[in-house]
Chains A and B, each alone.
Chain A
């Protein structure tokens, strides 16, 4: 976990006053959040707090009703998933979107295969896949030719992250990355998250698990009933006030907002 000031990191994504409603339901109200480069920002909140809605707004699944989104200080409109991808935003949903019957190389390159003379260039893809996994220091995988179905939960998560990294993502959004994982695999994924952020990628991570959050987050943002009630360096939070913010929207021991 980085101990340097969050302010010195460049703000990659900036949300200003984002609101979104679905019919009668006000899902997001006036949400403002800065996501800096090279840092892990954890988005926490109880069920129904609006975390998923916010993520999907950033990912381009729908447009906000009001508010602005800035990417590197420039105003942008993200109305489709393609727009988000073009900016460099890659979302890893909870279901990971892997094909069990393809091997790791096939999954990593799905949709953007390397071709030579209109044929799949297996050699090139395998080489690139090995390099990416090496960069991310994923060592538990025996062969990139393994089928995805034989991988453990942590390995699958690693492949999904590798897939995101390969498309030169600048912001990787992870929705509950450790939700279904055991102790060892959780450790693997959290290591991966740290390595990812130290390579300059901004990571926005939704998590229910405060242990995981305090293990990797540089910044924490708490949502409560559709509002972002507080965000600041992780050092300003502890379990108690984090839970208080999540469940009541305020805390006795407030956080130094930065």
Chain B
């Protein structure tokens, strides 16, 4: 009756005996399902990953390979690239890009964009700095909360204009960017002690020490072990719970593969940070900003995966009409997304300020918002909404930091650095588009 499809290569699954269309549909389904869901063994798992790569679902793999290639290139050019000192510096730089990327991800997931995050972060940082400095002299944590609340208000204002008045987010946040630049300058003007638009941070405040101060070497190991144990415990527990409810669950070995990979990355990270990077004196330990950023990413990722609001952000970004018909308050979800984007930009401003040791109006907010978009997109978030994860920005921010750091070591001029980074962004997005085109070519 119908002919058996001959598999073109040994790693594609045998196609259905029925029509050609059914065979292709089966492939699509297998490709679109997470490898862990259908895998019955570790070999199966990697086979499923290979199949997905062949069919255009490579995920972050091209970017990871890219980073490795770029890093090798820079190491060849300048052997001080892979030194502890340089790498820790690179990671701190990356953390700013990562948090900006996470902030922008909220807007991108909703099929919107927030162009105000650069100077918004500046406003947030200035508010924090002013609150903890004299004459206000609030405790550091209250100053940070004050800055974040300010960002929440700015985010609400923009979000309401976009959600309720249906104004295009591009236009509203472009206006926001300009308004925040002005607002930031006004705050600096109002403070008579801010000479030349710069307010110094007291070097004793935790805000200052976020970047410059590090945790002890043993603490880093303890935290790493605690995290790994916690994740393994949770993975096993969830796996057992699924089985006990009669749901399919991958074999434990398969479920633990991503955990093992993450653990390896964690070990490497701790080793780099704990190595002696001092020149005159011994300097070891992971700067506090690194676990700070990882914590932000972890909490946000958990929220997006386990809360209704997180799920609704994805739904609204893909099909707002379907969401509306399902009874979801679309306007609130959009407003909330912009609040989260702006508050997270406040965190980015905090890290920026801590890195500088001061806050100044010459923060290049225009460039930072572009890095925000770049970090999110390079990491895998889609500009068209509904796709991407918060954790994507970890990779995206790292890529940007690697490029800038390496070019800086090579003594390349700032304009050339910018052009190269732009080229990297274009290449990353093009690669993603080409790889995805293989998928839709069916």
Q: Is the CB of A110 within 8 A of B315?
A: yes
With contact pairs A123-B242, A150-B28 given, residues A110 and B326 touching in the complex (Cβ less than 8 Å): yes
Residue of B242, B245, B321, B386 touching A100 (CB-CB under 8 A): B386
Is B326 in contact with A111, judged by CB distance below 8 angstroms?
Answer: yes
Q: Is the CB of B328 within 8 A of A110?
A: yes
Are A99 and B38 in contact, CB atoms less than 8 angstroms apart? no
A101 x B247 contact (CB < 8 A):
no
Which of A12-20, A36-44, A141-149 participates in binding chain B? A141-149
Give B300-315 as 1s and 0s: 1 = Cβ < 8 Å from A's Cβ atoms: 0000001110010011
A123-B242, A152-B25 known; A99 and B322 CB under 8 Å? Answer: yes
The residue in chain A whose Cβ has the minimal distance to the Cβ of B302 is: A119
Q: Does A252 contact B (CB under 8 A)?
A: no
Tell me the bound Cα distance from A119 to B246 in angstroms: 21
A151: Cβ under 8 A from any B Cβ:
yes
* B308 close to A120 (CB less than 8 A): yes
CA of A112 to CA of B245, assembled, Å: 21
Given A111-B326, A113-B308, CB of A99 within 8 Å of CB of B319: yes
Which residue of A has the minimal Cβ distance to B386? A101
Instruction: Produce 1/0 per residue, B271-299, CB < 8 A to A.
Output: 00000000000000000000000000000
List CB contacts (< 8 Å) of A224-251 with chain B.
Answer: none
Dominant secondary structure at the B interface? helix
Contact check: which of A99, A112, A143, A145 meets B315 at CB < 8 Å?
A99
**Could you mark each residue 104-132 of chain A with 1 if its beta carbon is under 8 Å from any beta carbon of chain B, else 0?**
00100011110100111001001100100
With contacts A100-B319, A152-B25, A182-B21 known, is A111 near B327, CB below 8 A? yes
For window 135-159 of chain A, which residues contact chain B by CB distance below 8 Å?
141-143, 145-147, 149-152
Does residue A257 face the partner (Cβ distance < 8 Å to B)? no
Provide the residues of chain B in CB contact with A184, threshold 8 Å: 18-19, 21-22
Is the beta-carbon distance between B314 and A102 smaller than 8 angstroms? yes
Complex CA gap A146/B33 in Å reads 5
Neighbour of B314 across the interface among A99, A112, A120, A127, CB < 8 A: A99
CA separation between A164 and B306, bound complex, in Å?
24
- Contact between A123 and B315, CB atoms less than 8 A apart: no
* Set of chain B residues within 8 Å of A143, measured between Cβ atoms: 29, 33, 37-38, 248
Tell me if B406 counts as interface (CB < 8 A to partner A): no
Across-interface contacts of B22 in A (CB, < 8 A): 184
CB-CB under 8 A from A106, the residues of chain B are: 311, 315
Q: B399 → chain A, closest Cβ, in Å?
A: 24
A-B contact count (CB 8 A): 94
A112 CA / B242 CA spacing, docked (Å): 22
Within 8 Å of chain A (Cβ to Cβ): is B31? yes
CA distance A146 to B31 in the complex (A): 9
Is B192 located at the chain interface by the 8 A CB criterion? no
Specify the chain B residue showing the minimal Cβ separation from A91: B325
The listed residue (A99, A118, A141, A142) touching B386 by CB distance below 8 A is A99
Question: Which residue of the partner chain B has the closest CB to A111?
Answer: B326
Q: Does B410 contact A (CB under 8 A)?
A: no
> Is B33 within 8 A of A97, CB to CB?
no
Which residues from A are CB-within-8-Å of B28?
150
A149 to B18, CA, bound (A): 22
* Chain B residues with CB under 8 A of A78: none
Contact among B245, B311, B319 with A97 in the assembled complex (CB-CB below 8 Å) = B319
Instruction: Answer yes or no: A98 CB below 8 A from chain B CBs.
Output: yes
Tell me the minimal C-beta distance from A128 to chain B in angstroms.
11
Give the residues from 385 to 410 in chain B that come closer than 8 angstroms, CB to CB, to chain A: 386-387
CB distance from B187 to the nearest CB of A (A): 38
Contacts A101-B318, A143-B29, A146-B32 supplied; 17 other A-B pairs, CB < 8 Å: A97-B326, A98-B322, A99-B314, A99-B322, A100-B318, A101-B315, A101-B317, A101-B386, A110-B315, A111-B326, A112-B326, A113-B308, A142-B26, A142-B30, A150-B31, A152-B25, A184-B21
Instruction: Report 29 cross-chain contacts, Cβ distance below 8 Å, ordered by A residue.
Output: A97-B319, A99-B318, A99-B319, A99-B322, A100-B319, A101-B314, A102-B314, A106-B311, A106-B315, A110-B315, A110-B322, A110-B326, A113-B308, A120-B306, A120-B308, A123-B241, A123-B242, A123-B245, A142-B26, A143-B29, A143-B37, A145-B37, A146-B32, A146-B33, A149-B32, A150-B29, A150-B32, A151-B29, A182-B21
Chain A contact residues, CB within 8 Å of chain B: 81, 95, 97-102, 106, 110-113, 115, 118-120, 123, 126-127, 130, 141-143, 145-147, 149-152, 182, 184
